[in-house]
Structure 1
Amino acid sequence: MSNFPELRTVTVTRYITPLREGGSLPALAEADDDFKYVLKFRGAGHGVKALIAEFLGGEIARLLGLKVPELVFANLDEAFGRTEADEEIQDLLQGSQGLNLGLHFLSGAITFDPAVTVVDEDSASKIVWLDAYITNVDRTFRNTNMLIWNRELWLIDHGAAFYFHHSWSNREKHAKSPFSLIKDHVLLPQAGRLQQMDDEFRKILSEEKLRQIVNAIPEDWLYWRETDETPEEIKEAYIEFLLTRLAHSEIFIKEAQDARQKLI
C-alpha cells in the first residue's frame, strides 16, 4: 500500500521568531525549500504526541475536504539553535533534534473572528463533526484555531486533539465517549447539518484510508517511555480508536446536537 499522505521532508535552515501565542512555543522558521513554516517541536511540553495529534487531525481534515495548510516533516540537525540567545528556546531546539512537524505559513492570514465572519451551515457542521470525532478540545471562542486566508477558512492547530493518548488507558471507553467539551465549540450554533455530514463522512473515512494516514506517522515518534508497545502496536491502537469512534459516531453526534439545542 502506498504511503498516504506523502508528506515532504524539509530541513530547517533558519529560526525566525517564536510564536508566543501557542502553549508549546511553536516558531516561525524557514526551510531549505525557501518556504516559511510554523514549526511544532518534539521537544515541547507534550512532545511527540502533540505532533501525532497535529498530523492525524490535519490529514483527516484534508481527507474530508477541509482546508489545512500543507504539513511537512521538518528536520532539525544537531547544530541548529546553538547560536540562539534565549536559553529557553535553545533548550527547546536542542531537545527537538530529528523530525518535527511544520505547517506552511499562510502569509497575511488573519485570525478567524466569529463576530466578523459568518460561517455557512455546511462548513460549520463539517468542522464540528471533525472536532467531535478527533476529540479536539481547542476550537473555542477563546482560541478559534482558524484563519481567514484568501477569503477562505483554514483550520490550524490540532495538537490538542486525541487527548486519550496522554493517559493511554481505557482506550475503548475514550473511543466511545460523547465528548461533552463539544459544547464550547465556536461553530456549534451554526452546525445544523451534523447528521448529514455524518452520513457523508462515514463513506469517505474507509478503514483503508484511515490506515494509510496512521501508517504514515514517522516511526521515530512512536518510541514512548510510558509503554512497552512497539511502534506497530501503537499505530494499531490509533487505528482501533478511529474505527471504533466512527462505528459509534451516533454517540458524539447526539452529544453535539443536544449541546446545540441548549445554545439556540
Structure 2
Amino acid sequence: MISDKAHVLDSATPAARMRKDGFMKRLTLTVGRASLTNIVVLSLLLLGRPSYATTFTELGDTGSLPGTAQIASVVGLLTEIHGTLSPADGDAQDMYLIRIAGGGTFSATTVGGVGFDSELFLFDSSGKGVYANDDVAFRDFAPSTLPAGNLLTPITAGDYYLAITQCCSVPTSLGGQIFTIAGPNHRVVSGPTGAGGDSPVTGYSGGFVQIPTMGGPYQIFLTGAHLTGTHAAVVSEPHTFALMLAGLGMMGFFVRHRQIKSKPS
C-alpha cells in the first residue's frame, strides 16, 4: 500500500518536473545566448586587432645619408628590411632610420638575404659611426653581420641609422673614412676607428667588387629593432573586414534562429 506521503510526492512530481524542465530550458537558452554572444564578440575583437607588419620594404630608392634615409616605419617589431642596390645606376648605398631597443639585443645580417658582397654600417642619431662589418668570419665576398651581444652593440635605446652598401663602398666624414674594414680587417666587426670616426657621415668612397654579382635585391634580418614612432599607421587588412562582417552576420543569424525557436507554437 502506498502511503499518503508517497502519493503526494508522486502526484507532485509531474508538475515539479515541468517547472524544472521549463527553468532548465530558459537557463540553457540564456546561457546559450550569452555564450554565443561572448564567443562572437571575442572573435570579432581578435579579428579586429591590427595587422602588425614586421617587414619594411624600400619605397622607390632610399637615400644614403641621414637627411635622405627612409624611416623604417612598421607597427611592432621590425624583423626585416627589403630593398635593392644598383651600383651601375649610381645606387650603391641605402640607409634607413630605425629604432633600437637597447640592452645589446640589436643585430643585423644579410646572411641568406643577398647575392652580392654586402657591407653593413650602424650610426647613431647624429650620424656618427657605431659599428660595421664587411664579411662574416671565415668567408670572402660574403654577406655581413652586425652581431648582438658584441662589445660594440648599442646598449642605449633610441633612433639609429642602418646602411647597406655594395663592397667596397665605405662611409666617410669630413675627417676621412669612419670605419676600418678594408684589407685584413674585412672579416672583423669594426668600431669607428678610422680617421674620420669622430665625425658624422657625409658621403662614401671606394670602388665596387663584382663578385659574385654587382648589386641586386637584398634582405636585412634584424633583432632588437622596432617602430620608429612616426609615420606609422594601423591598417586592417581587407580579409579582416570580411571576417568581421561574416562574424556579425553569423551572430545575427543565431540570435534570430533562437528567437524563432523560443516562440510558442
Task: Answer 1 or 2: which has greater strand percent.
Answer: 2
For this structure pair, what is the TM-score category when the shorter chain's length is used for normalisation? under 0.3
- Structure 2 length normalisation: TM-score? 0.22
Give the structure with the higher percent helix.
1
RCO (CA 8 Å, sep 6+): is it higher in 1 or 2? Answer: 2
TM-score where L is the length of structure 1 = 0.22
